[in-house]
Structure formats: structure tokens, C-alpha cells
């Protein structure tokens, strides 16, 4: 099976009405975060099926798909990389991780990041030096910053909090709503999966100055009384 066959199959699955809806939902208009992104209009479960069918294409083929302007090409590429990563040995995992970092400019919408960053970047770094995440967190790229935060989801799932809290602090004053949501989401997950006490230690230090969207996401699971207390500046 080849990349050209994969693309033809996706073309056959295209839905113009769904594509129009997705182009609005993912903010593809001029000046928006997804400017220029092109959708075929294929639902994610269908794309997962295509990825499984073509999971044996090469990593180079996946990188070719990642360079496409078509959103579904990039998403299927990431799905294939995730499937390959799950079955890979150490050398192959390193290659997939490296290919991922080489193509961060093409992992350029929030669904692409959220789908792949924990299971590739976060998983690879579980037992390794994590300085690359701090570099990504301080970059000028919206998507690299979101990758750095979402990668910590894997650490949180393994009951680790240090890097998630440190990266949240780096991103605390970021101006973009998508970063506010990502940080708040990871703080919420940290409180849910590891320690609400540790989450609240962070919040008590920063809640008066952190963006309101970030705070709302972080306290979503708190009782109403506690929510009201935190929302007071």
C-alpha cells in the first residue's frame, strides 16, 4: 500500500458539507489560529480505520503526509505514527519521536497536538531528559507550546507532577486562549489523577493573576463554593 493509495481513499471519503463545518470549527479563516487549513470532512473514527489499513507505510511516507495542507492527511499520519510507536522497539520509538519534533510546524491545530503529544512525546520522555519540553514551552510557536503542555499528560497519568507544574508556570502569562485552555486542562487532570492538594498549592500562588479561562478549566471539578472562592480576585 502506498501514500497515493491512502490519499485516494481519503478523497473518496470526503464530505463537502462536513468539511465546511470543520473549517469553521477549527478557525481556518484569515488571521485565525488555523488559517489556511483545508479539510476533506472525514470523521476521526473513519480516519482511524484508514490509519490501521495503511499502518505499514514508511515513516518517510508519514512525514510526507504531515507536510500536506490537508488536515486529514496530517491527522492520519499522526495516527499511523502512534500505531507504529505502540509496537516499536527503542530505536524505532526514537526515530518516530525525532520525526515528530522535526515536523512540529505541521502539527498545527489543537486536535492534532492533543491526539499525539501525550502518547509520542510524553511517553518517549518518561524515562529521559525533558529539557526539550522547556525549549518548546519557551518557543514562539503556539503549537510547540501546546505540545509541551499536553506532553505532560503522560507524566500526570504516571503520577508525576513536577514538569507539568513547571511548564504551566512558564505558560501562565501566555496570551493565547488555546494555551490558557491547555494549561487549565492539565492542572485539572493533575488534581484529578494525582493530587488536588498539589493543584491547589499552584492555584493559591497564581489564581489572582492567571487568565480566567485557565482558572475556570482548572477548577472545573471543584464544588461550587470552592469555585466561587477561586473566581474572586
pLDDT in tens, 203-230: 999 999 999 999 999 999 999 999 999 9
- pLDDT band at residue 34 under the 50/70/90 scheme: confident
Q: Total domain count for the chain? A: 2
- Measure the CA–CA gap between 31 and 125, rounded to whole angstroms: 34
Let me know if 52 is exposed, middle or buried by CB neighbors in 10 A (0-12, 13-18, 19+). exposed
Measured in degrees and rounded to the nearest 5, phi and psi for residue 70 equal -85, 125
Give the pLDDT mean for 2-22.
96
Residue 66 has pLDDT above 80, yes or no: yes
Instruction: Give the global pTM.
Output: 0.96
Q: What is the DSSP code (8-state) at residue 58?
A: -
**DSSP state, residue 54:** T
The domain in which residue 16 lies consists of 1-108
Asked whether residue 187 is domain-assigned, the answer is yes
Radius of gyration of the chain (CA): 19
Q: What is the pLDDT of residues 77-98, one digit of tens each?
A: 999 999 999 999 999 999 999 9
Tell me, yes or no, whether 67 and 143 share the same domain. no
Instruction: List the one residue out of 154, 157, 179, 155 whose CA is nearest residue 168.
Output: 179
Burial of 78 (0-12, 13-18, 19+ CB in 10 A): buried
pLDDT 10s digits, 169-201: 999 999 999 999 999 999 999 999 999 999 999
Tell whether 120 is covered by a domain: no
Let me know: does 189 contact 218? Beta carbons within 8 Å: no
Residues 70 and 158 in one domain: no
Instruction: Indicate if 100 and 179 belong to the same structural domain.
Output: no
Give the side-chain half-sphere CA count within 13 A for 82: 19
At residue 56, does pLDDT exceed 90?
yes
* pLDDT over threshold 90, residue 29: no
| Average pLDDT score, the chain | 96
Indicate whether 151 and 191 sit together in one domain. Answer: yes
Same domain, yes or no, for 1 and 63? Answer: yes
- Dihedral sign, CA of 182, 183, 187, 188? negative
Instruction: In whole angstroms, give the CA distance from residue 55 to residue 59.
Output: 10
Beta-ladder partners of 38: 70
CATH at 159: 1.25.10.90
- The verdict on residue 121 lying in a domain is no
Same domain, 74 and 146: no
Q: Are residues 5 and 96 in the same domain?
A: yes
Percentage above 90 pLDDT, the chain? 92
Query: Do residues 95 and 151 both lie within one domain?
Result: no
Amino acid at each position: 500500500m502506498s501514500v497515493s493509495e491512502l490519499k485516494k481513499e481519503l478523497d473518496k471519503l470526503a464530505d463537502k458539507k462536513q468539511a465546511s463545518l470543520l473549517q469553521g470549527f477549527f478557525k481556518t479563516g484569515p488571521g485565525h489560529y488555523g488559517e489556511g487549513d483545508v479539510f476533506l470532512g472525514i470523521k476521526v473514527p473513519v480516519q482511524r480505520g484508514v490509519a490501521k489499513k495503511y499502518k505499514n507505510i514508511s515513516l518517510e511516507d508519514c512525514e510526507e503526509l504531515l507536510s500536506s495542507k490537508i488536515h486529514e492527511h496530517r491527522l492520519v499520519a499522526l495516527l499511523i505514527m502512534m500505531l507504529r510507536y505502540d509496537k516499536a522497539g527503542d530505536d524505532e520509538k526514537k526515530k518516530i519521536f525525532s520525526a515528530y519534533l522535526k515536523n512540529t510546524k505541521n502539527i498545527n491545530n489543537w486536535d492534532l497536538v492533543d491526539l499525539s503529544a501525550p502518547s509520542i512525546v510524553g511517553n518517549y520522555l518518561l524515562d529521559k531528559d525533558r529539557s526539550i519540553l522547556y525549549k518548546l514551552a519557551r518557543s514562539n510557536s503556539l503549537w510547540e507550546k501546546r505540545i509541551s503542555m499536553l506532553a505532560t499528560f503522560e507524566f500526570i497519568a504516571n503520577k508525576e507532577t513536577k514538569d507539568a507544574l513547571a511548564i504551566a508556570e512558564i505558560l501562565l502569562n501566555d496570551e493565547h486562549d488555546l494555551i490558557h485552555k491547555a494549561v487549565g486542562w492539565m492542572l485539572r487532570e493533575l488534581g484529578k489523577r494525582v493530587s488536588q492538594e498539589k493543584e491547589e498549592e499552584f492555584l493559591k500562588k497564581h489564581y489572582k493573576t492567571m487568565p480566567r479561562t485557565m482558572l475556570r478549566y482548572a477548577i472545573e471539578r471543584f464544588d461550587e463554593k470552592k469555585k466561587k472562592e477561586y473566581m474572586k480576585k
